[in-house]
Amino acid sequence: MSNENRSSFTGKLGFVLAAAGSAVGLGNIWRFPYLAAEYGGGIFLLVYIILALTFGFALMTAEIAIGRKTGLSAIGAFNSLNKKFTFVGWLAAIVPVIILPYYSVIGGWVMKYLWAFMSGDAVATAGDGYFGGFIGATGEPLFWFFIFIAITALVVLFGVEKGIEKVSKIMMPILVVLTIIIAIYSICLPGALEGVKYYLLPDFSKFSVKTVLAAMGQLFYSMSLAMGIMITYGSYMKKDTNLESSVSQIEIFDTAIAFLAGLMIIPAAYAFSGGDVGKGPSLMFVALPQVFKQMPMGTFIGIAFFVLVLFAALTSSISLFETVVSIVCDKMKMGRKLACLIVFIFSLLLGALSSLGYGPLAEVTVIGMQFLDFFDFISNSVIMPIVALLTCIFVGYIIKPQAVISEVELNGEFKRKKLFTAIIKYVAPICIVLILISSVLSAFGIITL
Ligand code: TRP
């Protein structure tokens, strides 16, 4: 192989790994399984996969192409293509600002569990009410949240992301292998088979608009779409890297990890609680300690697992923090250090609300939701679908699909270009409008889905 070929190959691999590194995080391991459990198991999985192959494919292609074409991140990219659409870049930029604080609260939960396993409390974590007791308290969840966001801030402040990325490139494959091992163990637990069936076999009677909404929000969240991130990644992508196949690889990788996480958690949750799997955000933290308790060398495996998940979470939070800092730096014309401090303090305040929302502030709700659920709802079910919709309109009718198609065709044929055009122009905008309207109406209690 000539040198040229080699370097373009590493170019692609490097791009896919970097984008996948940002995409794979708590979204795959913590969020996907509990949503799948809550929204009907197999039917959720099916809807998710269909959406990934259609909406996910079209949006990711569009975002990466816009980034590569302009060489700019979201706000600048929209601005340079059409001034009137600069606001879409801004809207997209709000998403990481909302996600970062509550993402770090969950990151704190992972740290707490890692600590509990390391300090010999592994068995206690499997006890009834352990998780509820932990998040219901005031100081402890706040403490772990603080540590998590402080580490994130320090990494960004001292610019040592590269070091973390190197470590995580080794950790990620280990995480995949460990997840497979735990999933196999989980499936073999007595009573787990029902859970496997629930997760894999779609039950069409469980289908509803809510399933689609939840799956769509999860798709955007997990693949870091509709928030400007993939535009930024695209701006770093070389012109000779094959865009279409990179998109497929990132999607397959991200979905495979989410799928495995579901297989690890849902059957176990079934086995231990006889089908009561609608535990929401606590599902992973309740189900896994019970698996580790029974598994040979469970404490050790638990420690390894939480370390690996912590790394996946940190690479994502670092990339989120970094994104927010660069927006603050650019748009408010201030130095990086000051921007880091501002983002840190802001996240601390907003995250504290989410953390306390399960404890002392449990009575306080916004449109019927606790703070964490509210921030999650506003970003995943409102702003991201709006950004996605506007991106489709922008590509479909302003710059025209051909602009993206020619960018993709800089190297080779764009095999799914008809599918791309149909989704961007018609299917996605219509579906997103319908879903958005019904979700907002139902959040305000005007209709029930
Ligand atoms: N996709 C990440 C996950 O699955 C979470 C995430 C959302 C993210 N937005 C991001 C990560 C921006 C990095 C940058 O956990």
Mutate which of 31, 63, 152, 221 for ligand 1 pocket (most atoms within 8 A of beta carbon): 221
CA 14-20-24 angle, 5° bins: 150
> Distance from the CA of 319 to the center of ligand 1, in angstroms?
8
Q: 7 pLDDT exceeds 50?
A: no
Predicted local distance difference test score (pLDDT) of residue 10: 55
Enumerate residues lining ligand 1, CB below 6 A.
Answer: 22-23, 25-28, 96, 99, 221-222, 224, 227, 229, 316, 319-320
Nearest-CA residue for atom 14 of ligand 1: 320
Question: Which residues, at least 6 apart from 114, have a Cβ–Cβ distance to it below 8 Å?
Answer: 303, 306, 307, 310
Q: Distance of CA 11 to CAs 19, 253, 296, Å?
A: 12, 18, 41
Q: Give the three-state DSSP class for 369.
A: strand
pLDDT confidence of 449, banded at 50, 70, 90?
Answer: low
Phi, psi of 158 (to 5 degrees): -90, 5
> Distance from the CA of 128 to the center of ligand 1, in angstroms?
31
Q: 265 pLDDT exceeds 90?
A: yes
Each residue of 22-73: pLDDT tens digit? 788 999 999 999 999 999 999 999 999 999 999 999 999 999 999 999 988 8
Mean pLDDT of 288-296: 90
CA–CA dist 321, 152 (Å, integer): 7
* pLDDT > 90 in the chain, percent: 62
Instruction: Please state, as a whole number, how many other Cβ atoms lie within 10 Å of the Cβ of residue 304.
Output: 17
Predicted local distance difference test score (pLDDT) of residue 258: 96
CA–CA dist 209, 43 (Å, integer): 12
Predicted local distance difference test score (pLDDT) of residue 6: 35
Q: Distance of CA 256 to CAs 21, 281, 359, 412, Å?
A: 14, 21, 35, 27
Each residue of 171-196: pLDDT tens digit? 888 889 999 999 999 999 998 999 99
CB 251 within 8 Å of CB 52: yes
Each residue of 202-256: pLDDT tens digit? 999 999 888 998 899 899 999 999 999 999 889 888 888 899 999 999 999 999 9
Q: Distance of CA 387 to CAs 130, 153, 324, 379, 429, Å?
A: 39, 27, 17, 10, 11
Specify the amino acid at residue 430.
I
Nearest to 107 by CA among 323, 317, 304: 317
> Distance from the CA of 174 to the center of ligand 1, in angstroms?
20
Q: Give the three-state DSSP class for 366.
A: strand
Specify the amino acid at residue 227.
M
Q: Name 369's bridge partners.
A: 366
Does 304 or 159 have the greater pLDDT score?
Answer: 304
Predicted local distance difference test score (pLDDT) of residue 346: 95
CA–CA dist 378, 372 (Å, integer): 10
Two tokens at 113? 């569990």
Q: 293 pLDDT exceeds 70?
A: yes
Q: 309 pLDDT exceeds 80?
A: yes
Burial classification of residue 273, based on how many CB atoms lie within 10 Å of its CB (0-12 exposed, 13-18 middle, 19 or more buried) = middle
CB 18 within 8 Å of CB 164: no
Give 335's DSSP letter.
-
Phi, psi of 23 (to 5 degrees): -75, -40
The DSSP secondary structure of 272-286, one letter per residue, reads HHTT----GGGHHHH
Predicted local distance difference test score (pLDDT) of residue 3: 38
> Distance from the CA of 447 to the center of ligand 1, in angstroms?
31
Predicted local distance difference test score (pLDDT) of residue 107: 96
Give 204's DSSP letter.
G
Residue spans of beta strands (DSSP E) within 85-178: none
Atom of ligand 1 nearest to the CA of 223: 1
Specify the amino acid at residue 184.
I
Does 164 or 293 have the greater pLDDT score?
Answer: 293
The structural domains of the chain, with segments of one domain joined by +, span 12-17+41-169+202-253+308-443
Each residue of 367-394: pLDDT tens digit? 888 899 899 989 988 899 999 999 999 9
> Distance from the CA of 25 to the center of ligand 1, in angstroms?
6
Nearest-CA residue for atom 11 of ligand 1: 316
Q: 5 pLDDT exceeds 50?
A: no
> Distance from the CA of 194 to the center of ligand 1, in angstroms?
31
Nearest-CA residue for atom 9 of ligand 1: 224
> What are the counts of helices (DSSP H) followed by strands (DSSP E) for the chain?
23, 0
CA–CA dist 213, 211 (Å, integer): 5
Each residue of 405-434: pLDDT tens digit? 999 999 888 999 999 999 999 999 999 998
